[in-house]
Structure 1
Amino acid sequence: MNEKNVDLERRSVEERNNDQFKKLQIILEHAKNNSKGWKLILSDIIPTQISNRKDLQKLPITRKSELSDLQNKIPPLGGLNTKPVNQFKNMFVSPGPIYDPGGVEDFWRMSRAMRAAGFTEEDIVYNTFSYHLTPAGEMMEQGANYIGACVIPGGIGNTEQQLQAINNLKPSRYVGTPSFLKMILEKGIENNIDVSSLKTGLVGGEACPPSLKKILNELGCPVLQSYGTADLGLVAYETWENDGMFCDEEVIVEIIRPGSDEVLLDGEVGELVVTSLNPDYPLFRFATGDLSAVIQDKSSCGRTALRIKGWMGRADQTTKVRGMFVRPEQIAKIFKKLDKVSKLRLVVGNVDHKDTLKMLVEVSETESGLEKLIIEEIKAEIKLRAEVEIVSKNEIPNDGLVIEDTRTYE
């Protein structure tokens, strides 16, 4: 399996393109014949005419921000699935809400990123992604199991118990967010608990800038990043050669001008658009809302897949905080429940490599218990804790922002 992976990753660009577009033609035909949603969206498309990247632009773009509406019209998956929902192994709920299917074996293909990070069947993997409703925990567990590695399902929270588990079970690899890894390593030192069995990590769910990578390396657990979503599975992954992020073999990636369908030149920053070659839940020209850019120069490790610079921000106001998406629609739902509030703005920050949330609340007059009520509404809607700051009327700028991301990634 490993040799096959390496062969695919180092094949010629022409061979990869031919293989991917042959698969794409078959999946397009299959989707038109077996999916209510794609039958409508692709009504004017002739699959055999989509044979290269230029032809790919004939397909309409489907935006992640539209997915919730599509799913409301044709529940539960927008009619984008090509087999009955009950035949999937799992159904997951992401913030929005957005519903995503899960499959068997390595459904999200995370094993490729793990192999690139050096994970093997001899490893014990400590998985700190959530196993509750959202799929990240299952995504990583499947990838590790596919390689043959054992997985400890740590999940999120219960830091003291997790430290003891690491100390006793001696896992060799970490998967989860980089900020949580930093906390585990620092708490281990602070509490004199040995967590040094963790030799390397594969992180995702949030940005891991060079400064944080440096800290994790100094704490004894260097990491690589993977970029994936519940909808698409693995999109791209890093290698130890620091060549950027290589796109997975089962996706076709484009960079477009945000808000349009114009494909940009290599090197220009734009919105990441991904076509997944998943026959059961295909997504064609799926605009993620994330910004990135294509790396043009040749890689040093021999891999030939398209490379991107990784996550460079959001093309819209939807953002990711502590591994969870937060959307403007969610802030609007909170606003509708609050009388005497004229404006809300969620400010996302970063202190000591940990995401922070503050809800600015503009009111004409304050009332007892308002702050506590808003904290409860935030937790109920976006599943995250946030500080609340009451401000005077007209103090929040009239610039259309409901989510302001002030984080820096240096």
Structure 2
Amino acid sequence: MSFFDMLETRSADERAADLAKTLPEQIARAKSTAGYAKLLDGVDPAAVNSAEALAALPVLRKSELSRAQAANPPFGGFTVKPATGFGHIFQSPGPIYEPGGVDGDWWRMGRFLNAAGIGQGDVVQNCFGYHLTPAGMIFENGARAVGAAVLPAGTGQTELQVTAARDVGATAYAGTPDYLKVILDKADAMGVELMFSKAAVGGGALFPSLRQEYADRGISCLQCYATADLGNIAYESPAMEGLITDEHVIVEIVTPGTGNPVAPGEVGEVVVTTLNPDYPLIRFATGDLSAVMPGVSPCGRTNTRIKGWMGRADQTTKIKGMFVRPEQVAALVEKHDEIVKARVIASRDGEMDAMTVQIEAADGDEAAFSRSVIEVLKLKGKVEVVAPGTLPKDGLVIEDQRTYD
């Protein structure tokens, strides 16, 4: 199977050298927008020439983007071009508005479709939505980039989906992982034989049993990790060992509620910087958890791999009637130089909520830690000081152990 382009097989040194040129240019573009003018005030774009330098910049969260859009619609001042300069304007739940381009592989989905074996000669039945939200156009744009024809099917009307797939000879499916099974089962009930041999899925969990069911039907199914704001972030190759980071994004894994990168291999929140010149999102927090995998993919693609979706980073939990947020746990850690890491555990003591704060520290004043817990978390709780390296490396900073059976 051929690569999409030569970027996929660059050495680490080549990728770093290219980033040293393209990242400062992107930071400069971002600084030119009204949205980033304040966030990046005082930042010298020329100095942000590596992933390590990028880590010093502030994180942008979707809640902040939403507030900015409400004040300055539709894009909150975070795009280089005005709304009229884009091919599409989308609305996702929130509402959040996203721009979309029609030139080139704007969302970078062609790289994933190529890895899935989709290209010229294929007809893609695109079952992602086309109404308001961008997923349908994201995959259509990618299909155009690899030379495949598209049946813009959207969702629903399963009998018509089966009939159309048969009549046009659809060879590839694009959509959520489970909807393909709905189509296949309906085709079986109708006595219709379909020609699907490839599937490119996203937007939901691809369970191993479902992938195997498709394989048993002769359909190779691969998944990607993409969002409406960022486009394609990472994707599977036929090696099916983790998700390979796209060549035009920078992925960081940070401690939830902070912008601080975790140690390699640890679970944390996915933060993404895009190199899209029209919409330069810098350190955009996805709210998803993942972890970096060591080594490179056996398929020959050399970029960093992540393990895929491992849960949500927004672990906000109500304890004793008060919300405790990951940002507060991060503030607790930052308040004391001795603290390496902290974890809040919500539990039950009889019919009452209880809170335990586990603190990794080689030394320190436990009483001072307790006072800071009250000051920062606004709640009293038991404080346990444990040795550095003791707490699990699972990305959780707030663990809810309560059951109400």
**TM-score of the superposed pair, with normalisation by structure 1:** 0.75
Deviates more, 1:107-116 or 1:47-56: 47-56
Which runs of no fewer than 5 residues in structure 1 stay unpaired? 319-398, 405-410
Q: Which residue of 2 aligns with 1:68?
A: 66
Deviation at 1:284, TM superposition (A): 0.4
Tell me if the contact between 2:19 and 2:49 (Cα under 8 Å) persists in the aligned partners: no
Deviation at 1:223, TM superposition (A): 0.3
Q: Which residue of 1 aligns with 2:98?
A: 100
Tell me if the contact between 1:204 and 1:227 (Cα under 8 Å) persists in the aligned partners: yes
Q: Which residue of 2 aligns with 1:381?
A: none
- Secondary structure of the 2:184 match is helix
Per-residue deviation, residues 12-37 of structure 1 (Å, max 9, x unmatched): 0111122123111012112222x111
Q: Which residue of 1 aligns with 2:14?
A: 15
Is it true that 1:119 corresponds to 2:114 in the alignment? no
Deviation at 1:215, TM superposition (A): 1.9
How do 1:331-370 and structure 2 match up within 5 A? none
Which letter does structure 2 place at the counterpart of 1:284?
I
How do 1:164-175 and structure 2 match up within 5 A? 164-175=163-174
Per-residue deviation, residues 229-252 of structure 1 (Å, max 9, x unmatched): 111111000011122110000000
Q: Which residue of 1 aligns with 2:44?
A: 46
> After TM superposition, which residue ranges in structure 1, 4 or more long, deviate above 6 angstroms?
none
Give the whole-Å Cα distance in 1 for the aligned partners of 2:84 and 2:5: 35
Per-residue deviation, residues 97-127 of structure 1 (Å, max 9, x unmatched): 0000000132101000001111111111110
- Out of 280, 283, 291, which is 2:281 matched to? 283
Which letter does structure 2 place at the counterpart of 1:109?
R
Give the whole-Å Cα distance in 2 for the aligned partners of 1:311 and 1:207: 8
Tell me if the contact between 1:185 and 1:219 (Cα under 8 Å) persists in the aligned partners: no
Give the whole-Å Cα distance in 1 for the aligned partners of 2:132 and 2:399: 32
Q: Which residue of 2 aligns with 1:222?
A: 220
Q: Which residue of 1 aligns with 2:248?
A: 250
Tell me if the contact between 1:36 and 1:80 (Cα under 8 Å) persists in the aligned partners: yes
Give the whole-Å Cα distance in 1 for the aligned partners of 2:171 and 2:282: 37
Tell me if the contact between 2:252 and 2:271 (Cα under 8 Å) persists in the aligned partners: yes
Which letter does structure 1 place at the counterpart of 2:246?
D
Is it true that 1:58 corresponds to 2:56 in the alignment? yes
Per-residue deviation, residues 300-325 of structure 1 (Å, max 9, x unmatched): 1221101001111111269xxxxxxx
- Secondary structure of the 1:283 match is coil
Is it true that 1:26 corresponds to 2:25 in the alignment? yes
Is it true that 1:315 corresponds to 2:316 in the alignment? no
Is it true that 1:84 corresponds to 2:82 in the alignment? yes
- Secondary structure of the 2:262 match is coil
**TM-score of the superposed pair, with normalisation by structure 2:** 0.76
Give the whole-Å Cα distance in 2 for the aligned partners of 1:92 and 1:51: 32
Q: CA RMSD in A?
A: 1.9
What is the aligned length? 318
Larger gyration radius, structure 1 or structure 2: 2
Q: Which residue of 2 aligns with 1:299?
A: 297
Deviation at 1:261, TM superposition (A): 1.5
Deviation at 1:66, TM superposition (A): 2.5
Which letter does structure 1 place at the counterpart of 2:56?
K
Give the whole-Å Cα distance in 2 for the aligned partners of 1:317 and 1:117: 34
Deviates more, 1:298-307 or 1:151-160: 298-307
Give the whole-Å Cα distance in 1 for the aligned partners of 2:158 and 2:16: 45
